[in-house]
Amino acid sequence: MPHRNPMQTDLLPPPADGRVRVMLTLPFAGPLDYLVPPALATARPGDIVTVPLGRRTETGVIWDATSSLPPEFMPPPQKEVPASRLKPVAARLDLPPLPAQLRQFVDWVAAYTLSPPGMVLAMALRANALAAPPRPASGWVAASPLPTGLRLTPPRQKVLDAVSASPLSTGDLARQARVSTAVIRGLAQAGALNAVEITPPPPFATPDPAHCPPQLGGEQAQVAAELRARVTEDAFSITLLEGVTGSGKTEIYMEAIAACLDAGRQALVLLPEIALSAQWTGRFGRRFGAEPALWHSELGSRLRRLTWRAVADGTARVVVGARSALFLPFDQLGLIIVDEEHETAFKQEDGVTYHARDMAVVRARMSRAPVILVSATPSLESLANVGAGRYRHLRLTARHGNATMPEVQTLDMRADPPERGLFLSPVLTGAINDAIGRGEQAMLFLNRRGYAPLTLCRTCGHRMQCPNCTAWLVEHRARHILTCHHCGYDEPIPQTCPKCADTDSLTPIGPGVERITEEARATFPDARILVMASDTLNGPAATAAAVERISRREVDLVIGTQIVAKGWHFAHLTLVGIVDADLGLGGGDLRASERTVQLLHQVAGRAGRAEAPGRVLLQSYVPDHPVMQALVSGDFASFMQQEAEQRRPGFWPPYGRLAALIVSADTPDAADMTARALGQNAPQLDGVQVLGPAPAPLAILRGRHRHRLLLRARRNIAVQPIVREWLSRVRPERGARIDVDIDPVSFL
């Protein structure tokens, strides 16, 4: 009997007056009321139904009669519609109901992010997940007895032999018997083969916790035991697992998954980037003898439907996915792991803006399950929660086996500059030559796609800019275009300057990863070079193939954007060169330093993960910057301490709360007036401050004019009711809209 969560409250009867609340996947303020026709008298909260809305039919979920939200989160009450004006529910769909925990979670996320709950529900009901289940395939069995007088040629005999064990589809049968499909058709027409339905094999085999457990070292064993204890105590808890790169964090949290499987519950693992999933699932398969279920936006529709159902009925025991996997209908969730918890990719920036790490904590609380946040460089948010006693803290201090931490050095670009027009210092190219010469692998990292971030006319100074955005066009030389990384606009690289019409005057300024590759090909003509950038690798399969080539040592030098920073394990990679360590420090982002340390440490962590020691060279014009010093010393605790001291006095996160209001409009005036109205109506409260309005750094995006306001509050103040009240007093101008971003990560 699968474990049932005690929070389950599905069995509430519908209200006595025959009225139910149905949440539609539309941007309404809340559920709508419908009547329950006698035929659906057994309908329950969570049931997925269709209802009439105007002249259309919409899909929705029967919602709970009462909200479980804390009072400060409660949306304002809606007026009750008289029963005489209500329409009946049309039909109940043949789908597993949405579990109570998930309905509660949808309500919570909507209230926290100030989004319409129907838009959050839409993430839980990804439309094609709901379509009919995939149909069983049809196959062939031999008729018994065979028709008399059947002419048995050798190919026909092979077909009959092949189906003697189990039914096979036409394609499989033709392949196994090595005959053409005409032979199969002939046998069917002769009455020697009968069609049957083939029941598909269960899509998700059960992982076996005892399949191939690791031998854990002393510190590892202790931490694993702690994590197992969290899982078996069957209660909500939050643990931050901090461990240097290569210390075995993944190995160890797999032990927590094993404990969760032993307890008969489901585990969810969130990865910041789905490109990582291929290596992850391979590793999981070796440990547990079965693949986990995958969930991400690129999943095909058949697999999406199967997975959604398998999560709902509990046959998918372990799901690994991107942030949207949080909204799957788990019924027996017993563990959530957030790997690389510091990653900003966990923040969804469009539609419902939510932070998957923070919402994972909420989901775990509702499921009375432990959550484990994993990182080599935890976010200041999580460290502050450790400091305040809200999170437990477990640490792994050494790399597994004989591997040591790489030696990190800054390379002062003022002292050892590259040759004119180049970007790699001779010190770095020398080190790469040495590593390749020893038969080891090297990696160059630059967090910038394309050839050059700016194209400038040498004659008149004109800069090539996006017509829709406040942004320069980035040259992508291989594709012969200039493109905008914000809106996707592109145009062919012009021959003449569009301003002064001079020919051959347009010059690329600064490097992107393509330009570094060009330089590397000239500098290391014999090296086998592989480029890994998010726009050159198409999806998880291509990424997996690239990783495979590196592992097989078919590559000497890897050149990549942030995709190479991720948790890859390359045993023979010993040298990492950071082309521009200063890149992330510009701009006014409050987390710029923290993020640079996290990203660069993660890239650095690719070096020397096995026997041979690793070395990391940071090309920088500011080698004395605290960020560079932290990377060299590896003393992140002190660095984060300094970060904390800078943010604490002004009540910046995590010592205060932020909500961003982004005004956008199709005309500058509408944007300006709406932003000013917001400014004039700004809340005047103790412990709350409003900054702005001011033009956004991306003052125009996709042709829309943008202004930003930032509300900052003390940590003990809930910002949602304040923002809701504020918005209720301001009407956006025609063509303008106001987007709310609670706990903003991007300030563009």
Least distance between ligand ADP and beta carbon 252 (Å):
7
Residue 489 interface partner, choices ligand ADP, Zn ion, none, CB cut-off 5-8 Å depending on type: Zn ion
Q: Which position among 126, 156, 228, 249 is part of the footprint of ligand ADP (CB under 6 A)?
A: 249
Measured at CB, which residue is nearest to ligand ADP? Answer: 248
CA-CA-CA-CA torsion for 205, 209, 214, 217, nearest 10 degrees?
A: 150
The piece of 241-249, 261-269, 347-355, 477-485 that touches ligand ADP (CB under 6 A) is 241-249
Q: Does 400 participate in binding ligand ADP (rule CB under 6 A)? A: yes
Q: Does 247 participate in binding ligand ADP (rule CB under 6 A)? A: yes
Is residue 446 within 8 Å of 520, Cβ to Cβ? Answer: no
x/- map, 357-396, ligand ADP, by CB under 6 A:
----------------------------------------
The residue among 217 and 285 lying less far from ligand ADP, judged by its C-beta, is: 217
Helix 154-162 and helix 170-177, axial crossing angle in degrees, nearest 10: 120
The residue among 374 and 427 lying less far from ligand ADP, judged by its C-beta, is: 374
Q: What's the burial of 552, exposed, middle or buried (CB within 10 Å: 0-12/13-18/19+)?
A: exposed
Q: Does 213 participate in binding ligand ADP (rule CB under 6 A)? A: no
Q: Does 214 participate in binding ligand ADP (rule CB under 6 A)? A: yes
Least distance between Zn ion and beta carbon 467 (Å):
7
Instruction: For Cα atoms 357, 363, 366, give the angle at the middle one, nearest 5 degrees.
Output: 150
The residue among 392 and 702 lying less far from Zn ion, judged by its C-beta, is: 702
Q: Does 601 participate in binding ligand ADP (rule CB under 6 A)? A: no
Is residue 278 within 8 Å of 547, Cβ to Cβ? Answer: yes
Is residue 544 within 8 Å of 279, Cβ to Cβ? Answer: yes
Is residue 640 within 8 Å of 383, Cβ to Cβ? Answer: yes
Enter the DSSP assignment of 649.
T
- 13 preceded by a cis bond (ω within 30 of 0): no
The residue assigned the tokens 């949808």 is: 106
Is residue 46 within 8 Å of 104, Cβ to Cβ? Answer: no
Least distance between ligand ADP and beta carbon 333 (Å):
23
Measured CA to CA, the distance from residue 432 to residue 426 in angstroms comes to 10
Residue 247 interface partner, choices ligand ADP, Zn ion, none, CB cut-off 5-8 Å depending on type: ligand ADP
Q: Does 484 participate in binding Zn ion (rule CB under 5 A)? A: yes
Q: Does 246 participate in binding ligand ADP (rule CB under 6 A)? A: yes
Helices (H), 319-355: none
Q: Does 66 participate in binding ligand ADP (rule CB under 6 A)? A: no
Q: Which position among 5, 67, 115, 245 is part of the footprint of ligand ADP (CB under 6 A)?
A: 245
Is residue 98 within 8 Å of 124, Cβ to Cβ? Answer: yes
Residue 484 interface partner, choices ligand ADP, Zn ion, none, CB cut-off 5-8 Å depending on type: Zn ion
Where b means 16+ CB within 10 Å and e means fewer, 335-360 reads: bbbbbbbbbbbbbbeeebbbbbbbbb
- Please, which of residues 199-258 interact with Zn ion by CB under 5 A? none
Q: Does 239 participate in binding ligand ADP (rule CB under 6 A)? A: no
575 is written with which tokens? 């040298």
396 forms beta bridges with 243
The residue among 169 and 551 lying less far from ligand ADP, judged by its C-beta, is: 551
Single-letter amino acid, residue 253: Y
Q: Does 221 participate in binding ligand ADP (rule CB under 6 A)? A: no
Q: Does 472 participate in binding Zn ion (rule CB under 5 A)? A: no
Helices (H), 243-315: 249-262, 277-288, 301-312
Measured CA to CA, the distance from residue 35 to residue 22 in angstroms comes to 10
Enter the DSSP assignment of 81.
P
Helices (H) and strands (E) in the chain, counts: 20, 29
Q: Please name the residues in contact with 483: beta carbons below 8 A apart, sequence gap of 6 or more.
A: 450, 473, 474, 476, 489, 490, 491
Least distance between Zn ion and beta carbon 675 (Å):
21
Least distance between Zn ion and beta carbon 488 (Å):
7
Q: Does 251 participate in binding ligand ADP (rule CB under 6 A)? A: yes
The residue among 51 and 576 lying less far from ligand ADP, judged by its C-beta, is: 576
Residue 404 interface partner, choices ligand ADP, Zn ion, none, CB cut-off 5-8 Å depending on type: none
Least distance between ligand ADP and beta carbon 576 (Å):
15
Least distance between ligand ADP and beta carbon 644 (Å):
24
142 is written with which tokens? 């031999």
Least distance between ligand ADP and beta carbon 465 (Å):
41
Strands 318-321 and 441-445: unpaired
The residue among 99 and 248 lying less far from ligand ADP, judged by its C-beta, is: 248
Residue 250 interface partner, choices Zn ion, ligand ADP, none, CB cut-off 5-8 Å depending on type: ligand ADP
The piece of 135-143, 209-217, 523-531, 669-677 that touches ligand ADP (CB under 6 A) is 209-217
Strands (DSSP E) contained in 461-564 are 474-476, 481-483, 490-492, 506-509, 529-532, 557-560
Least distance between ligand ADP and beta carbon 597 (Å):
17
The piece of 151-159, 249-257, 345-353, 499-507 that touches ligand ADP (CB under 6 A) is 249-257
Q: For residue 1, how many other CB atoms are within 10 A of its CB?
A: 4
CA-CA-CA-CA torsion for 67, 73, 75, 76, nearest 10 degrees?
A: 110
Residue 468 interface partner, choices ligand ADP, Zn ion, none, CB cut-off 5-8 Å depending on type: Zn ion
Q: Does 59 participate in binding ligand ADP (rule CB under 6 A)? A: no
The residue assigned the tokens 């932070």 is: 355
Binding residues for Zn ion, rule CB under 5 A, total 7
The residue among 279 and 367 lying less far from ligand ADP, judged by its C-beta, is: 279
The residue assigned the tokens 């050839």 is: 451
The residue among 217 and 634 lying less far from ligand ADP, judged by its C-beta, is: 217
Residue 664 interface partner, choices Zn ion, ligand ADP, none, CB cut-off 5-8 Å depending on type: none
407 forms beta bridges with 615
Helices (H), 36-153: 100-113, 117-124, 127-130
- Please, which of residues 283-342 interact with ligand ADP by CB under 6 A? none
Residues within the interface to ligand ADP (CB under 6 A): 214-217, 220, 243, 245-251, 400, 567, 569
Residues within the interface to Zn ion (CB under 5 A): 466, 468-469, 484, 486-487, 489
